[in-house]
Structure 1
Amino acid sequence: MGFPLLTILGGLVLFQSKHFLFDFVFQTSYQLKNKGTYAHPGGILHAGLHAAGSLPAIYLFSPSATMVAGLVVAEFVIHYHMDWLKERVVRVNGLTNKDATFWHIFGIDQLVHNLTYTAMLTVLLAQV
């Protein structure tokens, strides 16, 4: 038993589409400028919106309240800390989008987020 490949790919598309929307379309300047200050409500809001935005993809594979809660909390914690770390590295080193290192750090940030979705799907599929 298990999910058809197209369903699995659909879940990945949902995660990645959500990521694009909440990182590039709906992210406000308030969220963006405050993600580098630990425990600032702007960074918490940003990570919280990401975690909540993953609910459709999670529900596609598991209606279990425990599984849903665990994955939402895990995504929040990982997303929040990755964004905070990225912003700290950029600020401490005075990096701008004209620096190659800025883009390396940005790419690592995006890779970690996408690997998080892969891990979340793996956990969900392992429960089947």
Structure 2
Amino acid sequence: MSYDLLLVTMILFQTKHLVADFVLQSTWMVQTKGIYGHLGGICHSGMHAVLSAAILLIAPISIAMVVLLSVAEFIVHYHVDWIKDRKLKKLGFTAAQKGFWTLAGLDQFAHQITYVGMFLIITRIA
């Protein structure tokens, strides 16, 4: 994969993350991500996976790898969000407290590291 294509892919993933996590995520999704197996968290993570698959189609990888990476992102994204929400509820943090923002930052960091892992896999097989 060329550096130009990798950079474009990274920018597309950043844009996708912004849109899926902050623009399109509904109140229903936000309120139910901490309930394991709830459709709200599944839909949110599914939205990430579908948008990622669309972006990955520009990478020089097989359709099977697009599906595998998207499914892996779904699983990781779902569990990162679930863990963050469980911690927020257990600790009782609100948006007015530093602990909330620490957990929110760790959540976003984990998602970004997921993308780095995906890019590493793509560059090794492309």
| TM-score scaled by length of structure 1 | 0.94
Cα distance, 1:61 vs. partner? 1.2
When the two chains are superposed, the root-mean-square deviation of aligned CA atoms in Å is: 1.0
Q: Deviations over 1:3-53 (max 9, x none)?
A: 322211110011110000000000011111000000000000000000101
Distance 2:67 2:60 in 1: 11
Higher mean alpha-carbon deviation, 107-116 vs 4-13, is at 4-13
> How far apart, CA to CA, are the structure 1 residues paired with 2:2 and 2:34?
40
The alignment partner of 2:11 has SS state of helix
Q: Distance in 2 between matches of 1:76 and 1:62?
A: 21
Q: Between the two proteins, what is the percent identity of the paired residues? A: 38
Give the number of aligned pairs: 126
TM-score (norm 2): 0.96
Aligned counterpart, 2:76? 78
What is the alpha-carbon distance in structure 2 between the residues aligned to residue 72 and residue 55 of structure 1? 6
| 1:24 maps to 2:22 | yes
Determine the C-alpha separation between the residues in 1 that align with 2:110 and 2:102.
12
1:106 correspondence with 2:114: no
The residue type equivalent to 1:10 in the other structure is V
1:48 has 2:28 as partner = no
Moved over 2 A (4+): none
Residue type at the aligned position of 2:13: F
Q: Which runs of 5+ in 2 are unaligned?
A: none
